[in-house]
Homo-oligomer: A and B are copies of this chain.
Amino acid sequence: MTKKPSTINIIAKKSGIGIETIRYYQRIGLIEKPEKPLSGYRVYGDDTVARLLFIQRAKELGFSLVEISSLLALGDGSCLETKALAIHKLDIIKSKLHDLQAIANTLEQLIQSCEANSAHHGCPIITAISKK
């Protein structure tokens, strides 16, 4: 039950991550390069695919590649540190949520003031941004 060897193209398809991106991850040390056979193509295992999928999902949770690197280094062992990272990230995200909500509120008000502006005395949005 030996598998046929996975070249970079294969793991790219399995993980849904582009070849160039995988090479980039290798360059920045996020994933390892398997030994290169003296002449031939590098062969990848399913652990690499798993790692790539991990990276993808961590990215979706808002972790940067540097943070993902830490997560991978921590591994399954130090739950406390992992939790600390997650809490820190959650704080940042909550703060972003807060800011964005404020912006959305302001924009909504501006848009409404624009709708109320039947007279053509200039655009209330522009006016609002201009003076203050």
By the criterion of a CB under 8 Å from any partner CB, how many residues of chain A are at the interface?
47
Please determine whether B93 and A125 come into contact, CB atoms closer than 8 angstroms. no
Q: Which of chain A's residues 76-121 have a Cβ closer than 8 Å to chain B?
A: 76-79, 82-83, 86-87, 89-90, 93-94, 96-97, 100-101, 103-104, 106-108, 110-111, 114-115, 117, 120
Q: A76 and B107: CB pair below 8 A?
A: no
* A23 CB to nearest B CB, Å: 23
In the assembled complex, which residues on chain B have CB atoms less than 8 Å from the CB atom of A74? 123, 126
Given A89-B107, A90-B111, residue A126 in contact with residue B82 (CB < 8 A): yes
Which residues A55-81 have CB closer than 8 A to chain B? 57-58, 60-62, 71, 74-79
Q: Report whether B114 and A79 are in contact in the complex, using a CB–CB cutoff of 8 Å.
A: yes
Residues A79 and B129 in contact in the complex (CB < 8 Å), given A100-B97, A106-B61, A107-B93: no
Q: Is A111 within 8 A of B83, CB to CB? A: yes
A-to-B contact residues, CB < 8 Å:
50, 53-54, 57-58, 60-62, 71, 74-79, 82-83, 86-87, 89-90, 93-94, 96-97, 100-101, 103-104, 106-108, 110-111, 114-115, 117, 120, 122-127, 129-130, 132
